[in-house]
Amino acid sequence: MNSFALTVTCASTRGIVAAIAAFLADHGCNITDSSQFDDMETGRFFMRVSFASEEAATLDSLQTGFAEIGARFGMEYAFHDEAERMKVIIMVSRFGHCLNDLLYRWRIGALPIDIVAVISNHMDYQKVVVNHDIPFHCIPVTKANKPDAEGRIMEVVEQTGAELIVLARYMQVLSDAMCQKMSGRIINIHHSFLPSFKGANPYKQAYQRGVKLIGATSHYVTADLDEGPIIEQDIVRVTHAQSPSDYVSLGRDVESQVLARAIHAHIHRRVFLNGNKTVVFPASPGSYASERMG
């Protein structure tokens, strides 16, 4: 049986869930997982449904057949074949912990994506990437060549058909034009402290202030630097006895985990933009399973 997912966003009103369930049943489909959310402040409705086709329904037939219901409720909707892997480009600079973590998860099948390229402004990870049989593109960035460099990056995006860009500690600020063109399709990771520290040496600043929690935030990239809609966050406790170097090491671990979880949510169509925020539904049963152990 083919497995599909349906994502829906529209104004909240009665009858939506019933209409979707009846449509799927009429087309020989069995719902295996479902999540929904009504935002009482905005009046918006969000839903994600996983289902199996028991009577050979196709993506095209489902999309076409659903058009009347979509129009009736004013929906933004899409059907997705859960067997199709999203094409992803990873961008990295000189901090490789997130890149290496993603390559491992990809290799064992824990992140079911197609990594179509890795782009870096340095050569540090060229050998690692090529050894995984993934195309590596070194595109240096300076103040003088930044528009040309971004043009080359977008050429790789278009040539590969990439649907998502992951900034795995890519230490360059993207232009407003690129952020707008790839809106909702660029995910970033950065440190997140309580209280927050910006600028150089954030872990040292946190150490000097004696914080007890450090963490990481993964979010969609917008023109407002590090202020895009948040997808995933986590923290780790630290104590007075730990050094700034300990903070950095602990921070690497939590950054890697948070970024991987954010990508997992995005590729499984569990993330919905809701103004400046997101709606993130729980993972479907079995979606974290790896194809192999290592």
Measured between its terminal Cα atoms, the distance across the chain in Å is: 28
Domain ranges of the chain: 2-81, 87-280
Using the predicted structure, report yes or no on whether residue 167 has a pLDDT greater than 70: yes
Share of the chain above pLDDT 70, in %: 99
In the annotation, is 226 catalytic?
yes
Amino acid at 29: C
Provide CB contacts within 8 A for 108, sequence distance 6+.
290, 291, 292, 293, 294
Q: Which residue of the set 33, 114, 124, 226 is catalytic? A: 226
Using the predicted structure, report yes or no on whether residue 93 has a pLDDT greater than 90: yes
Residue from 76, 35, 17 nearest 281 by CA = 35
> What mean pLDDT comes out for the span 269-273?
98
> What mean pLDDT comes out for the span 185-204?
82
Tens of pLDDT, residue by residue over 218-244, are 999 998 877 899 999 999 999 999 999
Using the predicted structure, report yes or no on whether residue 25 has a pLDDT greater than 80: yes
Say which range, 100-114, 157-171, 206-220, has the weakest mean pLDDT: 206-220
Query: Over the chain, what is the mean pLDDT?
Result: 94
Query: Does the domain formed by 87-280 have CATH 1.20.58.220?
Result: no
Tens of pLDDT, residue by residue over 31-89, are 999 999 999 999 999 999 999 999 999 999 999 999 999 999 999 999 999 999 999 99
Q: How confident is the model at residue 294 (pLDDT cuts 50, 70, 90)?
A: low
Using the predicted structure, report yes or no on whether residue 195 has a pLDDT greater than 70: no
Which CATH number is correct for 2-81, 2.60.40.1220, 3.30.1360.40, 3.30.70.260, 3.40.50.720?
Answer: 3.30.70.260
> What mean pLDDT comes out for the span 270-286?
95
